[in-house]
């Protein structure tokens, strides 16, 4: 089974470097890029499309799924890392963001470090591993599965499918990978049904 992981399209809030709420829609530019992404994926033999429940991801998944006569399925395992209600709508240079960033750094060394109601990197990593196990179970029934999600979740999922690394190193890679990820960027992974190992193809 192959899994194609796609980051959602652009939004106005994202373009203005502000934290987005779950109901942030795609921008006009984002919707256009999603159409191009759907065209690219149109030749794939897709049997199922999963999505985060956030509006920007759902809108992206709907466009992609339509090309395969499918309806995307929302699943809680594929939601983005929850970054705390205190930063929603705030600029990336605001005080709450700086506190969140410092708390995230502290979490690398002190597992209990957490900013208000955020989801920690440990919790995100655990959910990414659960998603990997869930998709492995789908291998018996599906050919190619598309998952539409968000930068931090995708970075965590890719890390979970790779070789085990020391905790601090894996989180540094996770954050750097998420920061460099483009909207509508695609990653292709393949599950070996014999060894149960994931291999990244693209």
pLDDT of residue 127: 97
What are the tens digits of pLDDT across the range 53-88? 999 999 999 999 999 999 999 999 999 999 888 898
Instruction: For the chain, give the longest Cα–Cα distance.
Output: 50
Confidence of residue 165 (pLDDT cuts 50, 70, 90): very high
What are the tens digits of pLDDT across the range 4-56? 999 999 999 888 888 888 999 999 999 999 999 999 999 999 999 999 999 99
pLDDT of residue 77: 97
Residue 176 is encoded by which pair of tokens? 């750097």
pLDDT of residue 74: 97
What domains, with CATH codes, occur in the chain? 2-82+119-200 (3.40.50.1240)
CA 26/CA 55 separation, integer angstroms: 8
Confidence of residue 194 (pLDDT cuts 50, 70, 90): confident
Which segments of 21-166 does DSSP mark as H helices, in order?
Answer: 28-41, 55-66, 95-109, 121-138, 151-160
Three-state secondary structure call for residue 62: helix
- Indicate the average pLDDT of the chain: 93
Which residues lie closer than 8 Å to 162 by C-beta, 6 or more apart?
Answer: 198, 200
What is the arrangement of strands in the sheet containing 46-51, beginning at the earlier edge strand? 73-74, 46-51, 144-149, 2-7, 186-191, 198-200
pLDDT of residue 154: 98
């Amino acid at each position: 089974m192959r899994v194609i992981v796609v980051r959602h399209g652009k939004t106005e809030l994202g373009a203005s470097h502000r934290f987005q709420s779950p109901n942030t829609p795609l921008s006009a530019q984002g919707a256009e890029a999603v159409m191009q992404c759907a065209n690219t994926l149109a030749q794939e033999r897709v049997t199922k499309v999963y999505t985060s429940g956030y509006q920007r991801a759902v809108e992206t998944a709907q466009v992609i799924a339509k090309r395969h006569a499918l309806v995307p399925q929302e699943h809680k395992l594929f939601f983005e890392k929850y970054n705390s209600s205190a930063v929603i709508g705030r600029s990336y240079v605001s005080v709450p963001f700086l506190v969140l960033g410092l708390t995230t750094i502290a979490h690398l060394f002190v597992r209990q470090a957490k900013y208000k109601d955020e989801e920690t990197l440990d919790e995100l990593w655990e959910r990414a591993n659960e998603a990997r196990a869930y998709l492995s179970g789908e291998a018996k029934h599906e050919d190619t599965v598309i998952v539409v999600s968000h930068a931090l979740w995708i970075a965590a999922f890719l890390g979970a499918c790779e070789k085990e690394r020391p905790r601090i190193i894996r989180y540094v890679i996770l954050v750097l990978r998420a920061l460099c990820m483009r909207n509508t960027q695609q990653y292709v992974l393949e599950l070996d049904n014999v060894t149960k190992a994931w291999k990244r193809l693209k």
